[in-house]
Structure 1
Amino acid sequence: MIFACVNTKGGVGKTTTAVHLAVMLTRQGRTLLIDGDPQASAASWAAWRRESQYEPSPTTTCLAGKAILTEGKQLAKGFEHVVVDAGGRDSVGLRSALLLAQRAVIPIGASNLDAAAMTDLLEVVELARDYNPELDVRVLLTRVDPRTKDAAEMLEFLAEQQLIVLPTQVCERVAFRRAIGEGASVQELNRDQAAIAEMEAFFKEVMV
Structure 2
Amino acid sequence: MHTILIAAQKGGAGKSTLAAHFGAMAERDGRTLLIDADPQGSLAFWYERRAAETPLLAKVGASDIAETLDAARAEGIAWTIIDSPPHNAPLIGSLMSRATLTVIPVRPGPFDLAAVGATLDMARALKAPIACIINAAPPITRESETAITSEARALLTEMGAPVLPGQVSQRASFSHALITGQAVSEFEPEGRAAREVDVMWSAVVHLARTFPRQS
Q: With structure 1 as the length reference, what TM-score do the two structures score?
A: 0.88
1:170 alignment partner, SS class: coil
Equivalent position amino acid for 2:62 in 1: G
Q: Which runs of 5+ in 1 are unaligned?
A: 130-134
Where do 1:87-106 residues align within 5 Å?
Answer: 87-106=85-104
In the alignment, the residues of structure 1 paired with residue 7 and residue 15 of structure 2 have an alpha-carbon distance, to the nearest angstrom, of 7
Correspondence list, 1:11-22, <5 A: 11-22=12-23
Aligned residue for 2:135? 142
Letter in 2 for 1:150: I
Tell me the equivalent position of 2:41: 40
Residue type matched to 2:64 in 1? A
For 2:67 and 2:125, locate their aligned partners in 1 and report how far apart those are by CA, in whole Å.
18
Deviation of 1:192 after TM superposition, in Å, equals 6.5
TM-score of the pair, normalised by structure 2: 0.85
- How far is the alpha carbon of 1:89 from its aligned partner? 2.2
Q: Secondary structure at 2:108's aligned position in 1?
A: coil
Once the two structures are TM-superposed, the CA of residue 68 in structure 1 deviates from its matched residue by 2.0
Aligned runs of 1:50-65 on 2, under 5 Å? 53-54=51-52, 57-65=54-62
Q: Which residue of 2 aligns with 1:204?
A: 202
CA distance in 1, matches of 2:45, 2:103: 21
Q: Is the 8 A contact 2:132 2:164 kept in 1?
A: yes
Residue identity in the other structure for 1:34: I
CA shift digits 1:127-176 (9 cap, x unpaired): 333xxxxx321111011014752111111111112222111201100111
Query: Which residue number corresponds to residue 213 of structure 2?
Result: none
CA distance, structure 2, for counterparts of residue 95 and residue 66 of structure 1: 14
Residue 125 of structure 2 aligns with an amino acid whose one-letter code is L
Gaps of 5+ in 2: 207-215
Q: 1:64-83 alignment to 2 at 5 Å?
A: 64-78=61-75, 79-83=77-81
- Note if contact 1:34-1:84 (Cα within 8 Å) is conserved in structure 2: yes
CA distance in 2, matches of 1:99, 1:165: 20
CA distance in 1, matches of 2:126, 2:20: 24
- The total of aligned residue pairs comes to 199
Question: Which secondary structure does the structure 1 equivalent of 2:8 belong to?
Answer: coil
- Residue 65 of structure 1 contacts residue 96 of structure 1 at CA under 8 Å; is this kept in 2? no
Q: Which amino acid is 2:129 matched to?
A: D
Distance, in Å, in 2 between the alignment partners of 1:88 and 1:150 is: 24
How much has 1:18 moved relative to structure 2?
Answer: 0.8
Find out whether 1:24 has 2:21 as its counterpart: no
Farther-moved stretch of structure 1 (183-192 vs 169-178):
183-192
SS of residue in 2 equivalent to 1:140: strand
Rounded Cα–Cα distance in structure 2 between residues aligned with 1:201 and 1:62: 27
- Identity of matched residues, %: 28
The structure with the largest strand share of the pair is: 1
Q: CA–CA distance in 2 between the matches of 1:6 and 1:178?
A: 24
